Structure 1
Amino acid sequence: METATGQWLEPVDGVRWWFDAGALALDFAWTGAVNGEHRETLYAPADLGAWLLERFPRADSSIGERELSDALMLRAAIVGLASGAIAGEQAAASDVDIVNLFAATPDIPPVLARGSRQAGAGAVRATQALSAIARDAVRIFAAEAGGRIRECAAEDCRYLYLDTSRSGNRRWCSMQRCGNRAKVRAHRSRTATRTA
């Protein structure tokens, strides 16, 4: 099941911007205060329900504290795996175990539209959505994809993302944010050098 990625983030500086981490699992990691760069967004079960509903249109909005607690545990494991991948460290066994546990639970079954029976077409439970997120984490932290997890090259940014570019040389969390700032700084530096 292919799920669109990306979401609006509001860092501690209060400037809201669109960030596409390139993977559902990494988008999920950015619902929390990763690296002190971003504000927590999952304060209550309803917050988790709204986030899931944006990605899984049939998501069941009746989410309780248990599902929120599970989601926060999965999110922390994904953040740990991503941070370890960036640092070139071996993944913590506890993070791997948590992701594997969630990935082993029943996922969202694929469904063809317009059938006469509705098997599998009901509401998506939070546990199924978390399983889909965990399976995406398994996919991106596998050996071949794990080498494409990057940290933004801007000195004042530590956003992590999956480099899905064809050439594998994406440098910025976003061209509209850090990439543009870097180009402006480089232009100013060249202009100052020429005038000096």
Structure 2
Amino acid sequence: MSPDHAFVCGNPALDLAATLRARRTLRCETLVSPERLDAWYLGAGIVDGLSPGCRETDVEQAVRVREAVYALVTARLRGERYDDEALAVVNGAAARPSASPQLTASGRWTEATPAEALAAVARHAVELLGGTEAALLKECGDPECTRVYPDRSRGARRQWCGMEPCGNRVKAAAYRARRKGAPATAAG
């Protein structure tokens, strides 16, 4: 798996949770350095143009929030009670000052410190899990993928986090299996 960031989950908090990919098998970490966290904040649209200047401690804090978000999302999917420590981590990050977009002559512009950028992501988690979209959460149907997304599709029929990362692979594996007369697997 590539260390490149993907933004297919439909919410920055879910995309942050997906920065540890294939949690059940390969466990591919994408937040491997402060520069990768800076790139994630830029790619997620949390900041514009300038990187927040993350340090190793910021990566550690982002990973801590990421794991707390994933624990809360997983509990929601399973209909379980939220873990108190995960709640404290996300709420603590969300309570800090957040990135503030500014309107400029050329459009929106957001600069942030690493803590402000992480606070913005944590607030996305609070809004998602505390709002109506929490009922729409689904995990990707690819057995190798652990991304979660709100299924906003008509009839709630979406099966994958995205066609590019998972849907095409699952469909191709199913096609190959049908051609061989064997059972379909995503890894094929």
TM-score of the aligned structures, taking structure 2 as reference length: 0.76
1:8-29 CA-to-partner distances (Å, cap 9, x unmatched) read x638xxxx89550111111111
1:135-188 CA-to-partner distances (Å, cap 9, x unmatched) read 110111125221111012344544322223244331222234543455553797
Residue 75 of structure 1 deviates from its aligned partner by 0.8
1:166–1:96 Cα change, 3 Å:
farther
1:122–1:57 Cα change, 3 Å:
closer
1:43 aligns with 2:35: no
- Picking from 149, 159, 162, the partner of 1:171 is 159
Q: Distance in 2 between matches of 1:48 and 1:181?
A: 27
Q: Which amino acid aligns with 1:102?
A: A
1:62–1:149 Cα change, 3 Å:
same
Q: Distance in 1 between matches of 2:98 and 2:5?
A: 31
Number of aligned residues: 176
- Picking from 36, 44, 59, the partner of 1:68 is 59
1:20 aligns with 2:11: no
Instruction: Kindly report the root-mean-square deviation, in angstroms, between the aligned alpha carbons of the 2 structures.
Output: 3.1
Structure 2, gaps ≥5 residues long: 182-188
Identical aligned pairs, as a percentage? 31
Q: Which amino acid aligns with 2:92?
A: L
Q: Distance in 2 between matches of 1:17 and 1:77?
A: 19
In the other structure, the counterpart of 2:127 is 139
1:158–1:63 Cα change, 3 Å:
closer
1:175–1:143 Cα change, 3 Å:
same
1:101 aligns with 2:101: no
- Greater strand fraction, Structure 1 or Structure 2: 2
In the other structure, the counterpart of 2:186 is none
Structure 1, gaps ≥5 residues long: 1-8, 116-120
Larger radius of gyration: 1
Runs (4+) off by over 6 Å: none
1:67–1:182 Cα change, 3 Å:
closer
Contact kept, 8 Å, 2:93 with 2:122, in 1: the verdict is yes
